[in-house]
Amino acid sequence: MPDSTPAHSPCSTFPTRRAFLKAAALGALGASSIPALLAADSSTSPKKKKSKTMNTTNTDPRQSPANPGAVIAQINLTVAEGKRLIAEGIANDAAVKARLASGMVIVTTGTTNTYIAEKLAGLSAPRGSLLTGHILPEGAPRINVERIANIILVNGVPAPMPFEEALKKMAPGDIIFKGANLLNYRDSRAAVNIGAPDGGTTARLRPVTGEGKASLVVPVGLEKDCSWNLDALEAACDLKNTRHTRKNSVPQLWVHKNARIFTEIEALRALAGVDAFPIASGGIAGREGGITLVVAGAAAQVEKALAAAAAVRGEKPFI
């Protein structure tokens, strides 16, 4: 019988992701096997069931993201404008408003989360205060400001409570915001760099989030979107390969579990009820990393979306 595997299939040359992970766990694969795994088409891996808490945006490439006859318009956003728009959308999200009225909301450290804390908690501390790890241009000095802890809101009011204690008190439906460094929007998944050996904040929140528990919401800008298989990247960074130097050490990459992804697209849906999809990214003169979105819907909805974008226009860079 002829081989039914197509000649171009990565499976004909490279190990499957499942085989790679098993072998990696046994220490059977070295660093030379990583490129093979990362080059493999993620479509060869078994499909995972998506969490009920993930967004349900239509990402089927065979279907138009706009309904026939919809009114469409273009929105241009810098990275900073996108972060501010996400914060505005979060504040208008029905689930968030419900927990602010009665329940607990935790805003962990992060850049996009800083905008959320400014909106939900009235944070006025210097930029960089609500950060732990952050990525800067090579050689740039680190942000040197006094740090503040994760922000705990109980019934919409800041509560002086240690993070670990707050996690123990979280009830089903309560919300915790944790950012990301990488996004695969099509798969509704995001991942975060981990520097702490014990997994840091991400490891602590995992036991209390998921179905029937508190909700993990990941606010993340579309500038971080990629087409990579995040599980494969996580596996590659988790291997016990020798890091080059401590100064140039590669962090772990953890894929968020049971997470609801919240980007500029979800923000526009929360603020105006429109559908949205990207048609360009990047640019010049301050638009580097920015996104061009098309919003689609009824005329009144599109007008609301344009007004929401206008309200964040001119947002200054984070620092």
Per the model's pLDDT, the better-predicted residue between 91 and 32 turns out to be 91
Do both 206 and 259 map to the same domain? yes
User: What's the number of domains the chain is made of?
Assistant: 2
Lowest mean pLDDT among 28-37, 66-75, 78-87: 28-37
Domain around 43: 14-49
Do both 236 and 178 map to the same domain? yes
Q: According to the model, what pLDDT value does residue 139 have?
A: 86
Burial environment of residue 58 by CB neighbours within 10 A (0 to 12, 13 to 18, 19 or more): exposed
Do both 45 and 127 map to the same domain? no
Question: Which tens digit of pLDDT belongs to each residue from 191-249?
Answer: 999 988 889 999 999 999 999 999 999 999 999 999 999 999 999 998 676 777 767 78
Do both 185 and 240 map to the same domain? yes
Question: Which tens digit of pLDDT belongs to each residue from 113-124?
Answer: 999 999 999 999
Q: According to the model, what pLDDT value does residue 61 have?
A: 52
How far apart, in whole angstroms, are the C-alpha atoms of residue 38 and residue 45? 12
Q: According to the model, what pLDDT value does residue 1 have?
A: 42
Q: Considering the entire predicted model, what is its pTM?
A: 0.81
CB-CB contact of 306 with 75 (8 Å): yes
Question: Which tens digit of pLDDT belongs to each residue from 131-186?
Answer: 988 898 988 988 889 999 999 999 999 999 999 999 999 999 999 999 999 999 99
156: in domain: yes
- Portion of the chain with pLDDT greater than 90, in percent: 68
Q: According to the model, what pLDDT value does residue 21 have?
A: 41
128: in domain: yes
Do both 41 and 149 map to the same domain? no
Do both 92 and 154 map to the same domain? yes
Per the model's pLDDT, the better-predicted residue between 251 and 89 turns out to be 89
Do both 44 and 152 map to the same domain? no
122: in domain: yes
Do both 191 and 231 map to the same domain? yes
Per the model's pLDDT, the better-predicted residue between 24 and 150 turns out to be 150
Do both 98 and 18 map to the same domain? no
Coil, helix or strand for 199? coil
Do both 112 and 40 map to the same domain? no
Phi, psi (rounded to 5 degrees) for 170: -65, 135
Q: Which of 269, 262, 219 shows the shortest CA–CA distance to 75?
A: 269
pLDDT, mean of residues 54-73:
70
Tokens of 283: 């640019």
CB-CB contact of 78 with 154 (8 Å): no
Mean pLDDT score across all residues of the chain: 85
Do both 106 and 35 map to the same domain? no
